[in-house]
Every structure is written in C-alpha cells, then in structure tokens.
Amino acid sequence: MRLALLLLILITLNFACKEKKADIEVKDIRTTNNITLENNKSDKKVDVFIDGKLFTSYVYADDISVLKKTTLYPIIAANGEAITRGYPLNTRPNERTDHPHHIGAWFNYGDVNGLDFWGNSDEIKTPKEKLGTIRHDKIISLTSGHKSGTLVVSANWLNPDESILIKEETKFVFYAEAGKRFIDRITTFKALEETVSFNDTKEGMFAIRTARELEHPSDGPVTLSDANGNKTDVPVTDNTGVSGQYLSSEGITGADVWGTRAKWMALTGTINKNDVTVMIMDQPNNIGYPTYWHARGYGLFSANPLGPKAFTNGKEPPINFTLEPNTEVTFSYRIAVLDGIKDSTELETEFKKFTSK
C-alpha cells in the first residue's frame, strides 16, 4: 500500500514538472520576436524594436540637408551588426564617402518627367530645377505585434516648385524569426493631374547602401572617412575586413551580376566576425519582373526594373513606364537580413515563402 502511494506521488510530481516546463517553454516563445514601433516625433522617425533592440528606423526628417527622401536607417541584423553604411548621417571610420544620396534603404528614381529624384543631395551640385524631392506626408497607422509589425505612411513626390507630382502610399511590414529579419515594402504611386513618365535609366529604384564590410574587395583608389568623418583620398585600397560577394537566383556571382535580371539577389559577407546574408526579392506581379540589378561592388545594392536599355547598352528597348493622370501602380519587394552565409537552396526557400503569401 505504501509503495503504491509512493509511486502515485512520484507520477503526479513528474506530470506537474512536465506541465510547468511546457508552460515555461510557451512563455519563452511568446516573449521573443516581439516587434514594437514607436513614433519619435522630436527626431522625426519611427523606431522599430525587436525584443527591445533597435532593428531599423523609418526616417522622415525634412531638415537634414543630405536627405531628400524618406529612408530606413540603420538596418541591424539579428546578430547586432549594422548592414547599412553610416555615411553621411553617422559616418564610421574607413567608410567610403562617395554618393552622399545613398542612405539606408530607400525607393526613388533618377528620371521622372526629366527630374532626378535619385541623385538629390545638397552635397551634389546639380541645378535645383532638375531635382525632385520626396517628402513625408503622414503616418497613417503603426501596429506593434508578436513576430510582425506594420507601418503605413504617405509621402509626396515634389516638383522643384514643390507642387505634387506623385502621391505615394507605402506599407512596411517588419518580421522577426530566430537569426532572421525581414522588411516588406509595398508602395503604390498615384499620378495626379499630369502624366508621369519613368524614363529609362540605371539610377533606381529599390536600394540599400551597405556597410564597408559587405563591399567587394577592390584594387582602385577610393575616398574613405577617418574617425572624425573627414574625407580622405586613399590611392591604394585597404581591403581589410572587406568580404562581400553577390549571388543571383540565376547563379551569377560577384561584379558580373550588374545589369543582369534575377528574381532575387543576395550579398554575403562578414562583419566583426559575424557572417551575414542580405537579400532583396522581387515580386512576380511587379512591372519588369524579373528585375534588372543595379548592384555594384562598392556597396550599392539596388533592384531596378525600369532601365533595360541602360543595363543592356541599348540591346533591349526602353520601357519608359508611364502613369496617366489619376492612375496607380504598385511595387512590392522584400529585404531579408539573415545570420550566416546562405546558399542558393536556402535563398530560394526564402523567396518561395515571400511569393507564396
């Protein structure tokens, strides 16, 4: 009798322990990958946190001289490394200081009715009448949540006289998994009273300017920043820590990816001994799918479906995509920031997840 009672007590305790452990495991799952969005009105940005740590910020300030558009900056991998270049907003030592209009992750274009939205920066001496500006309009909604968070904003593409050429509405969806971070950008453009032409150019469209470590090693001279942010011309490049390598969905690697078409492109490398893969995915419903890639070894990583003539040296005809008055077009892309060096099989799996939504 005593033995039977003792066995019953042991069985009960064992079951209780398992039940308690299961409760703890459920709690652990629910308290990770929580995404919080906070509107920092004083700094004119929306900060995106994952489990209390900054992932990225939607920067909508209109008083930064080099910033003539909205941008996501910085973008930080799950391993804590920033995959975006710091210059010109927060310059880090040994960074390239070219192309001051390459900031964070952004969406614009170099020839819209003859206006250059892509290359607009006070650091570039282009006549103002040839430049377009993108200005944040309002935050429509922001939603925090477990594993995902959403930000919906509107912006105006402005003529030099500040009249509105294009109305933009963008939905950002931020996702988190173990060792993985994702950003979906769904952007709708609406023409107003005049026809809008996106003329063929390589200067576009959905882009990231990556950290120095993710550039391809090069032998040519570059302009780098010192510890104080001052520009320094370096005749012989120091490639210490520079480890970037492109890989396209078509199996093309390195600098050869420029001007090719692919449904996705990945850039791998090592930052402070932490391996990382940055991936941009094209959506099959986008115009010009699969997109051309304006992906350079110096850190510009961009999908541009609207420049076939520029990318093929005239072998393909221009699209010169046009929006008639009061019509709309939508583009959808995903950025994946993955811990580790991912191979083509793993990257294709991520792409299928994106396109099966």
In a domain? residue 153: yes
Q: 63: Cβ–Cβ under 8 A, 6 or more apart, which residues?
A: 44
> Are the C-beta atoms of 350 and 279 separated by less than 8 Å?
yes
- Domain containing residue 51: CATH number: 2.70.98
Say how far residue 232 (Cα) sits from the centre of its chain.
Answer: 28
| Predicted pLDDT at 17 | 45
| Predicted pLDDT at 13 | 46
Sign, CA torsion 270/271/275/278: negative
| Predicted pLDDT at 229 | 63
| Predicted pLDDT at 9 | 43
In a domain? residue 319: yes
In a domain? residue 323: yes
Residues 153-185 pLDDT 10s: 999 999 999 999 999 999 999 999 999 999 999
In a domain? residue 124: yes
Query: Which SS3 state, helix, strand or coil, does residue 10 take?
Result: helix
For the chain, what is the radius of gyration of the CA atoms? 23
Q: Which domain holds residue 287?
A: 35-355
Q: 144: Cβ–Cβ under 8 A, 6 or more apart, which residues?
A: 34, 35, 36, 37
The residues pairing with 347 across neighbouring beta strands, listed in sequence order, are none
In a domain? residue 22: no
In a domain? residue 29: no
Residues 302-315 pLDDT 10s: 999 999 999 999 99
Q: 348: Cβ–Cβ under 8 A, 6 or more apart, which residues?
A: 249, 264
Question: How many structural domains does the chain have?
Answer: 1
In a domain? residue 24: no
Where the chain has pLDDT below 50, the residues are 1, 3, 5-13, 15-29
Q: Which residue carries 């200081």 as its tokens?
A: 97
| Predicted pLDDT at 32 | 87
How would you class 231 by CB atoms within 10 Å of its CB: exposed for 0-12, middle for 13-18, buried for 19 or more? middle
In a domain? residue 1: no
Prediction pTM value: 0.89
The encoded tokens of residue 64 equal 């930064």
The encoded tokens of residue 273 equal 């001994």
Q: What is the DSSP string of 45-63?
A: EEEEEETTEEEEEEE--S-
